[in-house]
Chains A and B, each alone.
Chain A
Amino acid sequence: MQQLLNTALGGLTLGMVYAAFALALVLIWRSTRIVNFAQAPMAMLTTFVALTVIDAGYSYWIGFVVALLAGLALGAVIERFVVRHVEGGPEINAVILTLGLFIVLHALASVVFGNRYRSFPAPFGIRGIEVGETTIGLTGFGIFTVVAVLVVMGLLVALFRFTDVGLRMRASAFNPEVARLLGVKVGRMLTLGWALAALVGSLAALLIAGGSLVHPGYMDSIVVYGFVAAVLGGLDSPLGAVVGGLLLGLSLSFVSGYLGSELVALAALGILMAVLLLRPGGLFAQAQERRV
C-alpha cells in the first residue's frame, strides 16, 4: 500500500515535469508546426549556465533565474536566426534542422562544460517527508517542483487569456495570414513563442536536475517523454499536454517501480505507438480522425 502511494506521488511529481516539457513542445508546434527536438539540449545548456553561476558562489535562486532568462534568450535567437528559414517549408527540413541543432548544442555543451557527470544542488530537501513513523515519497523539492510548474502554467494561461500580447500570439498561431492583416507582427510573435517555450523547457530541466547529476545528455530521454506526453494530449492542446504529462509520469513511475527502471523508455515507446495507432488525435480527440 505504502509503495503504491509513494510510486503514485513520485509519478505525479515527475509527471509535472513531463507536463512542462510537453507544454513547451506544444507551444512551438501550435505556432510553427515544428516539433522542436532541440528543446532537450537547449534546456540542458541553460542548466549548465545555472550551474556555472552557482559554482561562482551565487545563490541557487540567482542561478535559477539566470537559467530561465538564458532559456528565453536562446529560444528567441534560435527561432529568429535559424528556424525562421524553414518555417512553412517541407516538414522534413524542419525535422532535420532541429536534429542538427540537437547535435550542435550537445557538442557545444560538451566542449564548453565538459561531459562528465556533475551534481546539481537542490534548494529544498530531497529526502522523503516524514509523517509520523513513515516516510512518504514526497520530497520538499518534489513539492517545489509541483508548485513551480503550476505557477508557470498559471502565468502562461493568464498571458494567453488576458493580455493583448497573448491574444496576438494565439491569433498568429491559429491563422498567421489573417493575423497579419489585422496588424499583428507575426514573426515577432513566433519569436516570443519560442522564447517562452524555451523558458518552460529550462524550468523542466532545472527541476529534473535538482538534487541529481547532470551531463550533456541528461535531457535526451526527457524530450522523448515530453513528446509522448504531448502526443497523448493531441500535440495541439496545452491542457492535453499537461494531462498527458501527468498520465505518462504516473505510468512510467509504476513501470519503474514494479517492473524495472530499464523498461521505462520501452514502456514510453509502447504507449506512444499505441496512441499513434489507435487514437492518433490524442486521448481527448473528438471523433474526427487526424493524420499523424
Chain B
Amino acid sequence: MLRIEGLTTSYGPVRALQDVSFTAERGKVTAVLGANGAGKTTLLRTVSGLVRPDSGSVHLGEHDISRTPAEAMPALGLAHVPEGRGVITELTIAENLHLGGLGRGRKVKAGDLDRVYDLFPVLGERREARAHTLSGGERQMLVVGRALMAEPSLLLLDEPSLGLAQRITAQIFALLRDLVAEEGLTVLLVEQNARSALSLADHGVVLNLGRVVADDRAEVLAGDDQLRHAYLGF
C-alpha cells in the first residue's frame, strides 16, 4: 500500500530523516515509534507532501507520490491528521467535516456528515458549535471524523493519544480497529506511547535520530526487552 524507499529529508543543515525504508501493508495498522526528535513527525510530513524529501521515494499503491504536493493527496486517498489535532477552531464542527469531504473533489451531501455523527454522537449534538469550544478528546474525534469524510484508503495519524485520557484513547483506537477490519483501511500511526500503539498495530517501525533501528511485527517488537528499554521507554 505505502512503500517508502531510502527517504532522506533535512531542515536546512539538519538531517531529520536518513535513508528510511519500510512498507505499510494494505488493511493493516503500522506504528512508527521512537523518542522525541526521532523524526516521526517529519516522516509523516514528508509522506503527505508538506516537506520535500532530499532523496528517496514514496509509493502509494502504484503512484510515486514523493513529489506530489500535499493538497493533491486527499484525491489520491491519503488523509493526514497532523500533530496537535489540526482542528480549524474558527470553523464550526459541521464546517470542519464539510471541508474534509471536499478533499475527495466532489460535492458534499448532508447525508455524508451523518455517518460521522453516527460514529461520534457528541459531534452530532453540537454540529453548529465552533470547534474551539470542543475538549481535547472531542477535537480528536473531529479530526478523525474529518479525515474519514474524504473516504481515504490510507490514514496517517500523528500522536492521536497526546494529552488525552486513557479512556478516550482506547475509544479512538477501538474505532480504528473496526475501520481497519470492516473497510480495509490502512493506517500509519505515529505514537510516543509505544505500549498502546503496539497493542493496536500489526507492524512496527522504530526510528532513532532519523534512522530505522527496528522493523518487525508488533508482537516481536513488544517482546524485545532490549529494544523496549533503549527506544520505547516501557
Contacts and interface: CB of A to CB of B under 8 A. Distances in A.
Interface string A171-193: 10011011111111110000000
B5 to A, nearest CB: 23
Contacts of A164: 98, 102, 107-108
Interface of B: 48, 50, 69-75, 79-80, 82, 86-91, 95, 98-100, 102-105, 107-108, 146, 150
Nearest to A164: B102
A213 interface: no
Contacts of A178: 82, 86-88
Interface of A: 164, 167-168, 170-171, 174-175, 177-186
Contact of B88 (A171, A183, A185): A171
A183 B150 contact: yes
Given A170-B91, A171-B91, A182 B82 contact: no
Contacts of A167: 91, 95, 98-99, 102
Contacts of A186: 71
21 contacts: A164-B98, A164-B107, A168-B99, A170-B91, A170-B95, A171-B99, A175-B88, A178-B82, A178-B88, A180-B50, A181-B48, A181-B50, A181-B73, A181-B80, A181-B82, A182-B100, A182-B103, A183-B72, A183-B73, A183-B104, A186-B71
Question: Which of B89, B91, B102, B107 is the most central at the interface, judged by chain A CB atoms within 10 Å of its CB?
Answer: B102
Chain A binding surface, main DSSP class: helix
Given A181-B50, A181-B79, A182-B146, 5 more contacts: A167-B91, A167-B99, A174-B91, A181-B86, A182-B100
Contact of B71 (A170, A174, A175, A184): A184
Contacts of B95: 167, 170
Contacts of B99: 167-168, 171, 179, 182, 184
Contacts of B80: 181
A171 B146 CA distance: 13
Contacts of A181: 48, 50, 70-71, 73-74, 79-80, 82, 86
A206 B205 CA distance: 63
Contacts of B72: 183
A262 to B, nearest CB: 42
Contact of A180 (B71, B108, B146): B71
B74 to A, nearest CB: 4
B50 A168 contact: no
A178 B96 CA distance: 11
Question: Which of B69, B71, B82, B98 is the most central at the interface, judged by chain A CB atoms within 10 Å of its CB?
Answer: B71
Contacts of B103: 182-183
Question: Which of B48, B75, B99, B150 is the most central at the interface, judged by chain A CB atoms within 10 Å of its CB?
Answer: B99
A-B pairs, 10 with minimum CB distance = A183-B103, A183-B74, A178-B86, A180-B70, A174-B90, A180-B71, A181-B80, A175-B88, A182-B103, A185-B71
B178 to A, nearest CB: 23
Contacts of B74: 181-183
A183 B50 contact: no
Given A183-B75, A183-B105, A177 B91 contact: no
Contacts of B87: 178
A181 B103 CA distance: 9
A179 B105 CA distance: 14
A180 B75 CA distance: 12
